[in-house]
Amino acid sequence: MYLNRRCFLRSVSELAVVAGSVSWRPSPSRGSQQSETAIPIIDTHQHLWDLSWLKLTWLRPPLDRSFTLKDYAEASQGLGVVQAVYMEVAVPAQQRLEEAEYVIGLCQEPKSVTRAAVIAGSPAEDGFGEYVARFKGSPYVKGVRGALPLERMGDRQVIENLHLLGDLSMRFDLNVSPPALAEAARLVGQCPDTRFILDHCGNADPVAFFPVGRTPPRPAQHAPERWRNDMDKLAARGNVVCKISGIVDNVPEYPLAADDLAAIINHCLDAFGPDRVVFGSDWPVCLLGAPLRRWVELLKEVTANRPEAECRMLFHDNAVRLYDLARRDSVTGLQP
């Protein structure tokens, strides 16, 4: 299932402190290379929305209500989330600018955990260049995400607009289904000066990687080997970063275990390397499959035997570098 989605906002009066000044500690396990040192988390895929003024057409239970910063604070309580990057939520085109201006306002609030944003916009649409140019030099708008149909990936207009993003030092989030990964790799190769973020592990279907003996709830939606091969093609492009996110909600209402996700996560970490992976919660869309806390626990379990330095890069350090964020060790203030 490839949801046509991703979610939005509340009033600034609800900003409050975003919970999570207590960082998680790597779970010790036999043979683990990690210590008990706390690792702060930067969530690079945070959704928020307020349905009192925002219209979203893709929502379904349990997502068909408002999700605010207060809700995010409760969901991330104690996980050590020190910063978050807001991700656009597929608003109607006429509300894109309003969404962008609102989230910029959130980022400007000193106590907000939301410090940056990826706004909505499609490089396949007319007027894209003029739209994104208004955010040139913004310290908060880090990139753009929007529809990029497979049949349009080779269009001159698309390529020119993606080059423009590179010129503006902005990133483009690729949210594509597994059948489109190979074409996405070709597109990325034509835009070497633009940084791309591949969302949700290339939307891999966990069912395709279930361990032997695990009873699947439905047929797999793609072949595992093709996904691995196409992910390797993308990983070979040095201007692509892989976001470890979004996979728990690809099997809704089915309790996934760490072993169900390990093959996907480990392939992404190995293919892209420790310096080109970042963590994303995909909250609250992750609720289709698991609460935010459970997703973090599953990822911690899968990565428990990896070096602590690599886990710190995944959960925190890479995001600071790749999104040009100020270092922040808690929600109470920025480091000098």
253: left (phi over 0), alpha (psi -120 to 50) or beta: left
Distance between CA atoms of 154 and 51, rounded to whole angstroms? 36
Cβ proximity of 147 and 91 under 8 Å: no
For the chain, percent of residues with pLDDT exceeding 90:
85
Q: Phi and psi dihedrals of 62, rounded to 5?
A: -95, 20
pLDDT of residue 264: 98
pLDDT of residue 28: 44
H helical segments located in the chain:
69-75, 96-108, 128-133, 156-167, 181-189, 200-203, 224-235, 258-272, 292-302, 308-312, 318-322
Q: Whole-model pTM? A: 0.88
Please state which architecture CATH assigns to domain 16-322. Alpha-Beta Barrel (3.20)
Residues 6 or more apart whose CB falls under 8 angstroms from that of 324 comprise 142
Give the model confidence (pLDDT) of 156-190 as tens digits: 999 999 999 999 999 999 999 999 999 999 999 99
- Confidence band of 34 (pLDDT split at 50, 70, 90): very low
- Confidence band of 4 (pLDDT split at 50, 70, 90): very low
Give the model confidence (pLDDT) of 18-30 as tens digits: 334 334 444 444 3
Tokens read off for 236:
């070979």
Distance between CA atoms of 77 and 229, rounded to whole angstroms? 38
Give the model confidence (pLDDT) of 123-139 as tens digits: 999 999 999 999 999 99
| Predicted confidence (pLDDT) at residue 335 exceeds the cutoff of 50 | no
- Confidence band of 330 (pLDDT split at 50, 70, 90): low
Terminal-residue alpha carbon distance, the chain: 44
Cβ proximity of 269 and 314 under 8 Å: yes
Rounded (5°) CA angle 10-282-131: 65
- Confidence band of 9 (pLDDT split at 50, 70, 90): very low
Q: How far is CA 76 from the centre of its chain?
A: 16
Distance between CA atoms of 197 and 261, rounded to whole angstroms? 20
Residues 6 or more apart whose CB falls under 8 angstroms from that of 191 comprise 159, 162, 163, 166, 239
The mean pLDDT of the chain is: 89
Give the model confidence (pLDDT) of 45-99 as tens digits: 999 999 999 999 999 999 999 999 999 999 999 999 999 999 999 999 999 999 9
